[in-house]
Structure 1
Amino acid sequence: MLGDLVSGRERSSVVCIEDTVELSGLQLLCSFVKSLLKRLDKVHILCFEPPSQLLNPCERLLIHDGFSDTFGWLGTPSCLNVNSDIEKYLSDQSQRSGQASANQRSAVVIDTLTPLITQHGAVKSCQIVQNLCKAKLKGGNIAQVVFLLHGDLHSDHSLTLIHHVTSSVLKICPSKSPNHAAICNILHKKPSGKVIKLSEHFDVNSSLDVQNVEEWKPSNAMATDVSESQLDPTANLTFNLSLTDEEKQARSKLVLPYTKAMDRPVIGTDNTSGGGEGGKIFYQPDEADDFDEEDPDDDLDI
C-alpha cells in the first residue's frame, strides 16, 4: 500500500505524513516529491523549515521560502509566511515562473504544517488544506497535497481534525526489526468510501526510493498463550478440579433421580385408551377459607 501511495498507483488527494522526534518523516516526504516530479508538471514546496539538502531546485520543482520570516515579523514583502494567502501566492508564483498550459497539473508539498496550526489553530489549518485541494492556479489545477506533521507537538484533538480532512494518514515510527528502518501505520480512505488500515515495514534508500515494503503484524505468540490459558479454567490452580478417565466413566454411569421417575410404567384406566391415569388435585380447605355451598345466583329470576 505504501509503495502504491508514493508512486501514485493508489489515488489520494491529500496525504499526511505524521512523524515524531524519534523518527523524522523528511525522507519519506522527499520520496513523494521525487515521484510527483515524474507524474506531474510542477511541484511547489512550501518550506516553513530550512529546506533539506536532499532536494535540488529545478524548473519543475519550485521551493518557496517560508522559513526566513515564518510569522511575518520582519515584514519581508516577497517572503511566504503563515499569514499569507497561500492560494494567491502560489498562483502569482506560477504566473511569474513562465508560460504554462491551461491543463497543467501541479502538486503542493508542505514540509511542516506545525507553524500553521500554531498560528491559526487546527480548524483554520484544515480549511487551508481543503482550499488548496480545490484551488485552480493560473496555468492548471492542484492534483495532490502532501504535508508533514509533527504529531508529538499537537493535541489529540488537533490531530483528529487534521486526519479528518486527509485521504491518507501515514504514521511512521522506528522499527524494532533489524531488517527494516521504520514502520508505517496507514489509514487510507478510498474514493469509494472503503477505509483501509494496515501497518508496513519500509526503507528509504539513498536515491529516495521506498523499498522493502512488507506488511507488519504484531507477534501473536503472547496472544496464543493467553487464549490457551483462557480455554482451560483449571490451569495453574493450587488444587485439582479436573477428572481422571475413571472418574468421567463413573459419572456417565450415574443414574439421576429424575431419570428414575421418567422410567416408571404408565398405569392405564378404563376411560383412557392406553393412556395414563392423569393428574389429580386434592384441595384441603383452610379455616380462613370462606366456602359457601349455596348458589349465589339462586335469588335471580332467570
Structure 2
Amino acid sequence: MPRRLDTQMTSFPIAGAFTISRGAKTQADVVTCTITENGLRGLGECVPYGRYGESIASVIAEIDAASAEIRAGATKVDLLEHMKPGAARNAVDCALWDLEAKQSGVPVADRVGIAQPKPLTTAYTISLGEPETMAARAAENAGRALLKVKVGTADDESRIRAVRAAAPDAAIILDANEGWTEDNLAHHLRIAAKAGIALVEQPLPAGKDELLATIERPLLVCADESVHHTGDLAKLRSRYDAINIKLDKTGGLTEALAMKREAQRLGFRIMVGCMVGTSLAMAPAVLLAQDADFADLDGPLLLARDREPGLRYDASLVFPPERALWG
C-alpha cells in the first residue's frame, strides 16, 4: 500500500513579539508534514523563512513536487538528491525519521548512536529593543544559565552593557542577524569581549563577511546566515570559529548529522539553533545538540501555546523528546 503524504499550515501565536534586526513577528507559521504507511504516521515540522526566499506556499509546493517520489518510497538519502536544502526537505526528512522509528520500534536516538539522551541547557532569547527594555527582560530571566540577546543596530554598545549589568551571572550570546557593518564591527566585538560575552553570531551579512578573516576576533564568532549545509563549511574556516546548525537550513536531520561531523572535523565549535517553531520542530534538534557546545532551542518558550504533547522545559533545561511527540 503506497504511502500517504499530507501537509498542513498552522499558526501559533508568539507571546508578545519576536524582534530581530530585520523586523518583528507576532506568530509562527509552520508547515507540518505527515507521512502515513500501514497505519503508522511520521511527523515533521518546518518554518519557512523569508530571508531565504521561502514562504508557506513555496514550501508546500516543493513538498508537492516531490510527493510522487515520497509516496513511492523515497528514502532520506534519496531526498538529499531530489530536494534542495531548506525548510521543505526538513519537514519531509524528519517525518521519515519519525515514521521509521515507529515502524522499527527503535527510537531515533538509538538510530543515531545516542544511548541515553540527556537534558540540555538551552539559550533563552531576548528580543531586540531599546536598551532599558532589553535590560528589563534580561533581569526577569537573569536566573537562566544562557541568554541569547538580539542586537544588530549601529549602536549596540548601550544594549550590550545594559543586558550584562542586568544579568551579571548568565552566559550571553549576541545575535546580530547580519546587522553590523565593516565600520562598527571591531568596536562592537571589543565591547562584547569586555562584557564577557561568550559568542557573537553572524555580525556581517552573508556573502559580505570576508573582513572576519582579516581582523582580530577577541571572542568566538559564529556563522548562521552564512552557513546552510556541509558544502559551505570549507570556505568559512578562516572567518568563523563556530557554526549554527538549524534543521530548516540543512534540510533535515540527515544532512545536519553529516554537517555536524564535518564541522567538528574542521575544528568548528557547534551551536544547534532553531527558528521560532513548536516542540515538534525542536525534538530532532535536541538529539542533534547532545554533544554541541551551545544549544538554542527555546522556540516553544516564545510561543503563547505549543503542541500537545510538547517538550519538557525546566528553567534553562530542555529534555529529550518523548516518543509520543516525535522519534
TM-score after normalising by structure 1:
0.31
Q: Bigger radius of gyration, 1 or 2?
A: 1
